[in-house]
Structure 1
């Protein structure tokens, strides 16, 4: 009981030290407020508010119908420009897309010929340009086909293919990217806070003062783990409520309590990872490099950026030892699909097993490093 009390008060001491570290506090606030908002809304994988112009040399019912087929929020209102001035407008950066309909376009369609529509794209905006080209092609093709069926130039299809997206019907990238960003911040911050606390006390000589007291290295490590995990867990819960749901309007399909429970299991593993990296590093600079070399690949291979199924077979097997993969899989199932504990319990078991193994290794190395330094 006395040992648990000692670990508790050491953890409170850790929280007090964090409160006085304004740099870490600023990083903590930034990582769970503005950072996920910017990551979720700053980089879109779909066309949004793209500027578009229309140069209509045909001025027919079909060409006018094509000009009215583009709607917000994907596109801005279509601007009619003088034919032949599209390149100049794009050079001036006024439009991302310019569509030019040649004269006699509807006449050629009615005559069964295959006229061409010119689409100019400003490819300096690579993400929007690549996706927008597909959007425009599908919109124009659908409108021309609808006109041809109405004019009895083409038979209507006997089968209509209707696509329905599960769990994200509107294919809203913000909803998906926001949660992935939050999970990434949880992993970064937990590892950095725990490891930086270890390095800071070693550089300031605080470890030697603690060892002069009747405290074991195990108590020091466990205190740092629970204190930093508790801080990140509270910050993640507040960010989920006020930033994800409040600011970004992301709906949580499953249980928020179950998501936070899975987060607590992952924090147990991530803090142990922070202790492990801090034990290997001899300075804050070395620790920062180790974080980049270890945490960044774990995030990239977690399944948040690209699905696990898209990775090579040998790499898929390797990611089973990454706690980030199991946390990402469980979080997406809970948040997007409304999964319960009966679905995500294997991921929870994996995280627990990996956390215990990593914690045992970290404590062994930490005890050894403390004994040698003493």
Structure 2
């Protein structure tokens, strides 16, 4: 037992030395957990900000002017008045995302008790802003009309008073969500790449034969590669959450950092085992890259982080939960980092991707032994 531990520790030291001696890989890790996290979270926002909007005012009434004045920054740019015959050309040219039509006699019909219609044309090629912005325009218009009808008394009392309380992200900041999700995606991506590349590097440099003449077993070789690369990712993720996410972006960490890092360590074992498994089907870094790309896309896009698992078809959701560790890791990480959940809450997800890790480790070890027999 002591010899096994000693061999694994020595092999881990060799792997860490190999990573340190690879400047490209080091730059990739640093970039993905610093610049990439900050830029994607802070700048690639789906919030409605400074959206171009035009108003076709065919009523020229006090209410129509109030509607135009109510649409203001920072959500929207100052509304641009245009004629009705200019709308199609403006939308085709991409000058505006929204065009609000106020028909003739709108205010008069509204005061008379009729139900006049407002038309909002939307350029839905900007899908995220179109959906969120249309809701914002509807909210602004409805509030202004209610205020106008009540004579400035603050609106008309409805039969139901709806009170909305947003938990865990009270200001609905997309940066809070995007930063943590980007960290989770990068953990998956880099663990998969680093672990697989470690094995491919041995084969391309011909150092696998050196390992075969050493008093080490295939399980020790595979375990050392998984633990060494997982250690790098866990340390990088801890620094990223503390320095970039918490300090630079101002995202609060609600839960226990030690619990999250423990789960992350187990998750990296699972994903690194997948990386080793994919590497056993490859003979070069190019082949490994072609295998990793589709697997990485599926793990990230269908993890439940970008879109809810409930919106997926039942067969796809069950398949991802059975075969993919990423949905369980997303559930675990969101529970700990967003909601401050403890082990009593997140243990099912923790157990799920740990069990999947045992399966992937066994498969990768079996495949690695087969590779060694062919050398």
What TM-score comes out, normalization by structure 1 length?
A: 0.89
Match in the other structure for 1:209: 210
Match in the other structure for 2:333: 331
Name the stretch that deviates more: 279-288 or 108-117.
108-117
Instruction: State the secondary structure of the residue aligned to 1:68.
Output: helix
Q: Which runs of 5+ in 2 are unaligned?
A: none
Match in the other structure for 2:38: 37
Match in the other structure for 1:147: 148
Residue 126 of structure 1: how far off its partner (Å): 3.4
User: Are residue 340 (structure 1) and residue 342 (structure 2) matched?
Assistant: yes
Match in the other structure for 1:367: 369
- The 2-side partners of 1:231 and 1:367 are apart by 25
User: Are residue 15 (structure 1) and residue 16 (structure 2) matched?
Assistant: yes
Residue 296 of structure 1: how far off its partner (Å): 2.2
Alpha carbons of structure 1 residues 34 and 2: separation in structure 2 relative to 1, 3 Å: same
Match in the other structure for 2:81: 81
Deviations 1:237-265 (A, max 9, x none): 11111221122221111112211111111
Residue 198 of structure 1: how far off its partner (Å): 0.4
Match in the other structure for 1:221: 222
Root-mean-square deviation (Å): 2.5
User: Are residue 260 (structure 1) and residue 264 (structure 2) matched?
Assistant: no
Match in the other structure for 2:49: 48
- The 2-side partners of 1:7 and 1:155 are apart by 72
Residue 343 of structure 1: how far off its partner (Å): 0.4
Residue 118 of structure 1: how far off its partner (Å): 4.4
- The 2-side partners of 1:101 and 1:256 are apart by 53
Q: Is the 8 A contact 2:54 2:82 kept in 1?
A: no
Residue 144 of structure 1: how far off its partner (Å): 1.2
Alpha carbons of structure 1 residues 66 and 366: separation in structure 2 relative to 1, 3 Å: same
User: Are residue 96 (structure 1) and residue 91 (structure 2) matched?
Assistant: no
- The 1-side partners of 2:318 and 2:100 are apart by 47
Q: Is the 8 A contact 2:55 2:81 kept in 1?
A: yes
Deviations 1:38-81 (A, max 9, x none): 333444343222133445454544223322323443223x2453
- The 1-side partners of 2:150 and 2:268 are apart by 59
Aligned residue-pair number: 371
Name the stretch that deviates more: 248-257 or 198-207.
248-257
Instruction: State the secondary structure of the residue aligned to 1:99.
Output: strand
Residue 311 of structure 1: how far off its partner (Å): 2.0
Match in the other structure for 2:286: 285
Q: Is the 8 A contact 1:225 1:268 kept in 2?
A: yes
Residue 345 of structure 1: how far off its partner (Å): 1.3
Deviations 1:312-334 (A, max 9, x none): 22333322322111111110111
Deviations 1:11-36 (A, max 9, x none): 12211211221221221122112223
Q: Give runs of aligned pairs for residues 302-321 of structure 1, distance below 5 A.
A: 302-321=303-322
Deviations 1:69-101 (A, max 9, x none): 23443223x245365586366666554334343
Deviations 1:293-346 (A, max 9, x none): 323222222211221222222333322322111111110111111111110112
Match in the other structure for 1:249: 250
Alpha carbons of structure 1 residues 82 and 49: separation in structure 2 relative to 1, 3 Å: closer
- The 2-side partners of 1:63 and 1:251 are apart by 42
Q: Is the 8 A contact 1:53 1:99 kept in 2?
A: yes
Residue 193 of structure 1: how far off its partner (Å): 0.4
Deviations 1:124-167 (A, max 9, x none): 43332233223212321232133223389x96312222232332
Match in the other structure for 1:199: 200
Deviations 1:95-118 (A, max 9, x none): 433434345432222122333434
Alpha carbons of structure 1 residues 317 and 130: separation in structure 2 relative to 1, 3 Å: closer
Q: Which runs of 5+ in 1 are unaligned?
A: none
Alpha carbons of structure 1 residues 256 and 70: separation in structure 2 relative to 1, 3 Å: farther
Residue 186 of structure 1: how far off its partner (Å): 0.3
Q: Is the 8 A contact 1:55 1:86 kept in 2?
A: no
User: Are residue 24 (structure 1) and residue 21 (structure 2) matched?
Assistant: no
- The 2-side partners of 1:24 and 1:238 are apart by 17
Match in the other structure for 1:64: 65
What TM-score comes out, normalization by structure 2 length?
A: 0.89
Instruction: State the secondary structure of the residue aligned to 2:70.
Output: coil
- The 1-side partners of 2:134 and 2:18 are apart by 53
